[in-house]
Amino acid sequence: MAGQILDGKKISAEILAELHSRIAALKRPPALAVVLVGDNPASQIYVRNKIKACHDLGIRSIEIRPPGDISTEALLTQLTPLANDHTVDGILVQMPLPPQINTERIMKFVVDPSRDVDGFSPASLGLLVANKPGPRACTPAGVMEILKRYQIPIAGKHAVVVGRSDIVGKPMALMLLHENATVTICHSRTPDLAAQCRQADILVAAIGRPALLNENHIKPGAVVVDVGMNRLTDANTVQQLFAHDQARMASFLKNGSVLVGDVAPHPMQLLSSYYTPVPGGVGPLTIAILMANTVQLAEQHA
């Protein structure tokens, strides 16, 4: 029996709908500043979606778009008014920054912990480790919302997180741990990755490698959460992964590319009890949680 889809679009719409009354209760609209350096196409799409979500909710958005060749010093000068503007509730610096910029200096200067809407600062991560309230990293917090709203049991389950990044893998493991899962973190140096993954009642893939996990990695009946988002352009690879899916093959022939997660889609659908599709699974939650974090910070500032 094929697994049931965990519909991220549906959960995202629920979260955004719940924010309207909280925003209406504030004396002024929440404000989110977005800093996008240069013209990375993927970053531009992310930022456009974030700005649209702000407008749809009535959150004030401030866009700062310096050129891609700007120096660290010039960027700090340009961001000084933003750092001193206390009507701004959250500040988001879109990653990655160009290589000539000292990312640590920029983040330290702009994002004090009370405006860390992404939940990436050392202070926010410390609050997560201690299980104290604070802004949470958006993608893993979105995964937790999917699991909770579909009433998938977490306590006492064995969760395996594949990937150890500071923005997904590590915070994901901590959030599952706080919900009383037994958590294993795997990564590129883990020996016999498939054997570790097959222990998982809840398998979270966040390693950034297209379709790395396959039928050898999935215990039948596991809940599979695929955080990956990889664009494929090779016809042979697409044929191998999507031969079962005529709609995706047609999309590839039309557009020349197709999105795939970190888990091979067909085995995931066949073996899991529940799974997040790519696209339409975890992705929509990231922006919904960003909006929720912005509102939460505005409430604290009020």
What CATH number should be reported for the domain holding residue 257? Answer: 3.40.50.720
Question: 222 and 86 in one domain?
Answer: no
Average pLDDT over residues 180-195: 97
Residue 40 to residue 45: CA distance in whole angstroms: 9
| CA-wise closest residue to 292 among 13, 9, 34, 10 | 13
Does the residue 171 lie in any domain?
yes
Does the residue 124 lie in any domain?
no
pLDDT range class, residue 1, cuts 50, 70, 90: low
How far is C-alpha 60 from the geometric centre of its chain's CA atoms? 22
Residue 64 to residue 85: CA distance in whole angstroms: 14
Q: Are 199 and 219 in contact (CB under 8 A)?
A: yes
**CATH number of the domain residue 41 falls in:** 3.40.50.10860
Does the residue 4 lie in any domain?
no
The tens digit of pLDDT for each residue in 124-166 reads 999 999 999 999 999 999 999 999 999 999 999 999 999 999 9
Question: 276 and 152 in one domain?
Answer: yes
Q: Are 206 and 158 in contact (CB under 8 A)?
A: no
CA-to-CA separations, 173 to 105, 127, 147, 164, 178, in angstroms, rounded: 27, 14, 14, 9, 9
Does the residue 290 lie in any domain?
no
Instruction: Mean pLDDT check: name the lowest of 30-34, 42-46, 189-193.
Output: 42-46
The tens digit of pLDDT for each residue in 251-271 reads 999 999 999 999 999 999 999
- Tally of CB atoms within 10 A around 110: 21
Residue 118 to residue 33: CA distance in whole angstroms: 12
Question: 263 and 182 in one domain?
Answer: yes
> Which residue, 114, 147, 169, sits at the end of a domain?
114
Question: 242 and 174 in one domain?
Answer: yes
Domain of 216, in residue numbers: 138-282
Does the residue 300 lie in any domain?
no
Question: 258 and 218 in one domain?
Answer: yes
Q: What is the DSSP letter of 97?
A: P
Residue 280 to residue 231: CA distance in whole angstroms: 14
Question: 257 and 161 in one domain?
Answer: yes
Instruction: Mean pLDDT check: name the lowest of 9-13, 121-125, 184-188.
Output: 121-125
Instruction: Note the pLDDT of residue 40.
Output: 86
Average pLDDT over residues 290-301: 97
Q: Are 169 and 163 in contact (CB under 8 A)?
A: yes
Does the residue 245 lie in any domain?
yes
Instruction: Note the pLDDT of residue 41.
Output: 83
Residue 19 to residue 170: CA distance in whole angstroms: 27
Residue 286 to residue 141: CA distance in whole angstroms: 8
Question: 150 and 106 in one domain?
Answer: no
pTM above 0.85, yes or no: yes
Point out the residues that are catalytic.
50, 94, 118
Count how many domains the chain has: 2
Question: 55 and 148 in one domain?
Answer: no
Instruction: Mean pLDDT check: name the lowest of 112-126, 148-162, 226-240, 267-281.
Output: 112-126
> Which residue, 79, 114, 149, sits at the end of a domain?
114
Instruction: Note the pLDDT of residue 107.
Output: 86
Question: 156 and 109 in one domain?
Answer: no
Residue 261 to residue 244: CA distance in whole angstroms: 16
Question: 266 and 144 in one domain?
Answer: yes
